[in-house]
Amino acid sequence: MTTVATHAAGLPAHRQRDAALFALVAMVATVGGALALQHLGGYIPCKLCLEQRTPYYIGIPLMALAFLSASFRLPAVIARVLLLAGGLLMAWGFYLGVYHAGVEWAWWPGPTDCGAVSGSVDTGGKGVLDALNAVVPPSCDQAALRIFGLSLAGWNAIATLVIGGVAFWGAAQKA
């Protein structure tokens, strides 16, 4: 027979599991959407776009571990630390998204090595693969796509804010 105390004792692990699952799915969906735009939509990401993916690449396995930790009821501190790390990664991602959006809106300068390709690329009679090192990615100060007025960098800032908030909330749950 279960008691209210038994359910209450399992509640933080349940919340940590749910927070980790949300963060994991949201991270996979966000970076998966960016990769789909790149590979299926022909979108070429700039240097800052690629940099914004790093917190996701690190965070996805951490959130998977947090989810498994909470699901298998390992010591709650493990899931808490992993969720905290995920929240910190999303805080870093938020900074990167705001920085890139600010560059696009010309609020501050972007990196000097983030230039645009103008015109076609001359391969010098060689194949495209030989010319790849000469191709410069798109400019960081031009939004490739705006949805409801926000660039993908702006939407990334919102996504990281939400995901980070959930991860921090899950980390704050006491065992």
**Tokens found for residue 73:** 């009821």
Nearest-CA neighbor of 97 among 148, 167, 163? 163
Report the alpha-carbon distance of residue 86 to residue 168 in Å, rounded.
8
Nearest-CA neighbor of 152 among 43, 25, 61? 43
Position 84 scores a pLDDT of: 97
Range from 22-26, 112-116, 119-123, 150-154 carrying the lowest mean pLDDT: 119-123
| Domains in the chain: boundaries | 10-113+141-172
Higher-pLDDT residue of 172 and 115 is 172
- Does the global pTM surpass 0.85? no
Cβ neighbours of residue 105 closer than 8 Å, sequence gap 6 or more: none
Position 38 scores a pLDDT of: 86
Nearest-CA neighbor of 168 among 95, 83, 91, 94? 83
Q: Which 3 state secondary structure label does DSSP give 13?
A: helix
